A = this chain, B = another copy of it.
Amino acid sequence: MYNFKNDYSVGSHPNILNKLIETNLEPQLGYGEDTYTLEAKEIIRKKVNNPKADVFLLTGGTQTNLIVISFLLRPHEAVISAKTGHISANETGAIEATGHKVVTVDTENGKLNPKHIQKALNEHLNKPHVVKPRMVYISNSTEIGSIYTKKELTELSSFCKSNNLFLYLDGARLGHALTSSENDLTLIDIAQLTDVFYIGATKNGALLGEAVIFNTPYLGLDFQLALKQKGALLAKGRLLAIQFIELFKDDLYFILADHANKMAMKLAYAIQGNGYSFLTKPVSNQIFPILPKELITKLSNKYLFYVWKEVDENLSAIRLIASWATDEKMVDELINDIKQI
């Protein structure tokens, strides 16, 4: 079976494994005080152009989301998210399990704008009978493949500042967002426009690893205690650090994401060429073509993918994901199969 189901089906980019082997027997301090963790943090501070940024390395997206959010919110405060947001739809109540309500908003394409936030705020005026929204959670790219423009993120950032809301960006697929052909944001922009965000590596070439960056001064103070308390502090921090050191060497992180996007977009153009439309405009490594159910059934004999949503009696949208490891031959074969069927 050819895999278009997710972007975490293979191991890691070989550079990472090679480096793990190369450094394997060096004795190092534990719990993130090793020289590799220090080096990875320094590299990331440079990449975001903020020497005072507080950087922490974690193992996964849900873990990162729940620790960041519970660390910054007080008990009566809540986080606003798109209904399609990962914290709302896919994390088994991880945020609620830390005591906080996720206030959800319907969106057209998975992206939040100031109007959405204002609406959520308006619905929480009946103090003290409602929670106090205090953070906005967004993903870039979103769970349905869309990305934020610099203008959009700037407006959101400014709205959040005016309304005393933390802006937190989930970057599980940040590489794919920043290498999209439609993107005009940089890592530095994101660091300036958000209070805290994370750079996801699990879905872009690492075995595991997400790097949280607190941009706002002092915001990350004591976060190491939160990591330990929530079971996220690895004894061997080097394992996470080496993922990021290798991925940020010679921009490998962006090269890998770019490949994933190109493969997905090649698929998207071909599918469009066959006259099919999409649930949301394809711009990154996740695309959602709307196909005849019959075609979907046939494809599913050879390819792995999610059937995302029924559109009508005859049509459904499916999700196709490409990754840094997607072989172009596999893409061509799928294109060919769609054309022929």
A residues whose Cβ falls under 8 Å from a Cβ of B:
3, 6, 8-12, 14, 17, 20-21, 23-31, 59-60, 62-67, 70-71, 74-76, 78, 89-94, 96-101, 126-132, 202-203, 207-208, 222, 224-236, 238-239, 325
A238 to B14, CA, bound (A): 16
Per assembly, the copies of the chain total 4
A325 to B27, CA, bound (A): 10
- From B60, B75, B90, A97 is in contact (CB under 8 Å) with B75
A225 to B77, CA, bound (A): 9
Interfacial chain B residues near A74, Cβ < 8 Å: 71, 74, 222
- From B100, B130, B208, A90 is in contact (CB under 8 Å) with B130
> Could you say which of A3, A12, A75, A76 has the most chain B C-beta atoms within 10 Å of its C-beta?
A75
Q: Are A97 and B99 closer than 8 Å at their CB atoms?
A: yes
A9 to B236, CA, bound (A): 7
Task: Give A63 Cβ to nearest chain B Cβ, in Å.
Answer: 3
Q: Are A75 and B70 closer than 8 Å at their CB atoms?
A: yes
Q: Are A225 and B76 closer than 8 Å at their CB atoms?
A: yes
Interfacial chain B residues near A132, Cβ < 8 Å: 222, 225
Q: Which residue of B lies closest to A100 (CB)?
A: B96
Q: Are A62 and B228 closer than 8 Å at their CB atoms?
A: yes
Q: Which residue of B lies closest to A78 (CB)?
A: B93
Given contacts A128-B225, A233-B62, contact A25 B11 (CB under 8 A): yes
Q: Are B230 and A128 closer than 8 Å at their CB atoms?
A: no
Interfacial chain B residues near A100, Cβ < 8 Å: 93, 96-97
Q: Which residue of B lies closest to A131 (CB)?
A: B93
Given contacts A99-B99, A236-B202, contact A91 B228 (CB under 8 A): yes
Q: Are A24 and B11 closer than 8 Å at their CB atoms?
A: yes
Q: Which residue of B lies closest to A10 (CB)?
A: B25
Interfacial chain B residues near A226, Cβ < 8 Å: 75-76
Q: Are A92 and B70 closer than 8 Å at their CB atoms?
A: no
Interfacial chain B residues near A235, Cβ < 8 Å: 6, 8, 60, 202-203, 208
Q: Are B8 and A23 closer than 8 Å at their CB atoms?
A: no
Interfacial chain B residues near A208, Cβ < 8 Å: 234-236, 239
Interfacial chain B residues near A224, Cβ < 8 Å: 127-128
Interfacial chain B residues near A92, Cβ < 8 Å: 76, 128-131, 225, 228-229
Task: Give A76 Cβ to nearest chain B Cβ, in Å.
Answer: 4
Q: Are A10 and B30 closer than 8 Å at their CB atoms?
A: no
Q: Which residue of B lies closest to A24 (CB)?
A: B11
A78 to B25, CA, bound (A): 38
Q: Are A24 and B28 closer than 8 Å at their CB atoms?
A: no
Task: Give A159 Cβ to nearest chain B Cβ, in Å.
Answer: 21
- From B9, B230, B239, A30 is in contact (CB under 8 Å) with B9
- From B8, B91, B227, B236, A11 is in contact (CB under 8 Å) with B236
Interfacial chain B residues near A128, Cβ < 8 Å: 31, 92, 224-225, 227-228, 233
A66 to B228, CA, bound (A): 11
A232 to B126, CA, bound (A): 17
A104 to B27, CA, bound (A): 34
